[in-house]
C-alpha cells in the first residue's frame, strides 16, 4: 500500500512539474465535457461554460470556424480535463476563464500549435502568454491552419480600413511616441487623425514601468502588436500589457 502511494505521488509530482515548465497554473478541478461550442469554448456536463484563457480561436462566421470547432472536439472526445482558472475567474458573459490540460498536454498550446488559434492575452490572462506566442510563431511559419488563410494574415498599418471591430496582428514601424497626461500614443505614420495608433492608458504605462519597460524606447522600432481594433480618429489598438507588443528589431 505504501509503495503504491509513493508511486502515485511520484507520478503526480512529475506531471505537475512538466506542466509548470510551460504554464504554471494550479489545477482546481477535473471536469467532463458535454459539448464543444467553438474553437476555444466548451460546456461541462454540469452546464457550466468554459472559455479557454489566453487564446483567440476563429469565431462564428469567420473562416475556418467550423474546422477549429471540429479540431477542439476531436482533442476532447472521450476525455476529462483538468482546469485551472485565470486571475479573474469568469468573463463578462459569466463563462469560466480557464487553462485546460488533458493528461499532461496543455490544451491551449495544442490549439495554437495546430494553427487553429492565436495568442490573445489580457491583464488577467497573461500568465502563460510568452509560451503561447512562441507556439504561434512556429505555427505561422509552417502556415498551419488559419495561417494559410489570408483572412488571418498579419496586417500592415495602412491595411486596416475594413477590420474595425476585429482581433488583428499588425506589424509596422513606430515613427513617434507621444506621452500625455492620460495616455501615451504610439504613432505609426505622420497623421494621427487618420493613421493607425496604439494607445496606452496612464495606469498601463505605470504597469509597464513596474516591469522595467518604457514605451519611449520603442520609438523608431519595428514591432508586432495585437489586439481588438477600434476607431479613434484612425484605427487604434489599446495596449494594456507587455505581451501585446513584440519588438522585431
pLDDT in tens, 53-66: 999 999 999 999 99
Question: If residue 76 lies in a helix (H) or strand (E), which one and from where to where?
Answer: helix 65-76
Kindly report the CATH number that applies to the domain delimited by 154-247: 2.40.50.140
CA distance 212 to 130: 17
CA distance 176 to 188: 7
User: What per-residue confidence (pLDDT) applies to 19?
Assistant: 46
Residue 184 pairs in a beta bridge with 179, 200
At 36, phi and psi to the nearest 5?
Answer: -110, 120
User: What per-residue confidence (pLDDT) applies to 42?
Assistant: 96
Residue percentage of the chain with pLDDT more than 70: 92
Whether 2-148 and 154-247 share one fold: the answer is yes
User: What per-residue confidence (pLDDT) applies to 78?
Assistant: 87
Q: What is the pTM of this model?
A: 0.87
Query: Cβ distance 22 to 128 under 8 Å?
Result: yes
Residues 20-38, mean pLDDT to the nearest whole number: 88
Q: Smallest Cα–Cα separation from 241: which of 213, 221, 220, 222?
A: 213
| Helix ranges (DSSP H) in 77-231 | 107-113, 129-141, 202-210
CA distance 106 to 121: 16
Q: What is the pLDDT of residues 140-186, one digit of tens each?
A: 999 999 999 999 999 999 989 899 999 999 999 999 999 998 999 99
Q: Indicate the burial class of 175 (C-beta count within 10 angstroms; 0-12, 13-18, 19 or more).
A: middle
Confirm or reject CATH 2.40.50.90 for domain 2-148, answering yes or no.
yes
Q: Smallest Cα–Cα separation from 226: which of 170, 175, 186, 180?
A: 170
Residues 111-121, mean pLDDT to the nearest whole number: 97
User: What per-residue confidence (pLDDT) applies to 3?
Assistant: 53
Q: Phi-psi region for residue 248, left (φ > 0), alpha (ψ -120 to 50) or beta?
A: alpha
**Per-domain residue ranges for the chain?**
2-148, 154-247
Q: What is the DSSP letter of 155?
A: B
Cα→Cα distances 150→103, 154, 224, Å: 34, 9, 17
Amino acid at each position: 500500500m505504501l509503495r503504491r502511494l509513493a508511486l502515485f505521488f511520484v507520478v503526480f509530482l512529475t506531471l505537475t512539474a512538466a506542466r509548470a515548465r510551460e504554464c504554471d497554473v494550479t489545477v482546481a478541478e477535473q471536469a467532463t465535457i458535454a459539448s464543444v461550442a467553438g474553437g476555444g469554448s466548451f460546456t461541462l456536463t454540469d452546464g457550466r461554460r468554459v472559455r479557454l484563457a489566453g487564446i483567440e480561436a476563429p469565431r462564428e462566421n469567420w473562416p475556418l470556424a467550423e474546422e477549429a470547432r471540429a479540431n477542439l472536439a476531436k482533442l476532447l472526445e472521450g476525455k476529462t480535463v483538468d482546469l485551472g482558472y485565470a486571475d479573474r475567474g469568469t468573463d463578462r458573459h459569466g463563462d469560466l476563464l480557464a487553462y485546460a490540460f488533458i493528461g499532461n498536454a496543455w490544451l491551449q498550446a495544442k490549439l495554437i500549435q495546430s494553427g487553429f488559434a492565436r495568442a490573445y492575452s489580457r491583464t488577467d490572462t497573461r500568465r502563460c502568454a510568452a509560451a503561447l506566442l512562441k507556439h504561434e510563431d512556429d505555427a505561422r511559419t509552417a502556415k498551419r491552419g488559419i495561417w494559410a488563410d489570408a483572412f488571418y494574415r498579419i496586417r500592415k498599418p495602412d491595411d486596416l480600413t475594413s477590420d474595425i471591430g476585429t482581433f488583428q496582428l499588425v506589424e509596422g514601424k513606430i515613427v513617434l511616441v507621444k506621452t500625455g497626461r492620460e495616455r501615451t500614443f504610439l504613432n505609426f505614420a505622420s497623421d494621427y487623425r487618420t493613421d493607425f495608433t496604439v494607445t496606452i492608458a496612464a495606469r498601463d504605462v505605470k504597469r509597464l514601468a513596474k516591469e522595467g519597460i518604457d514605451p519611449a524606447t520603442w520609438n523608431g522600432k519595428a514591432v508586432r502588436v495585437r489586439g481588438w481594433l477600434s476607431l479613434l480618429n484612425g484605427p487604434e489598438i489599446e495596449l494594456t500589457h507587455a505581451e501585446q507588443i513584440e519588438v522585431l528589431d
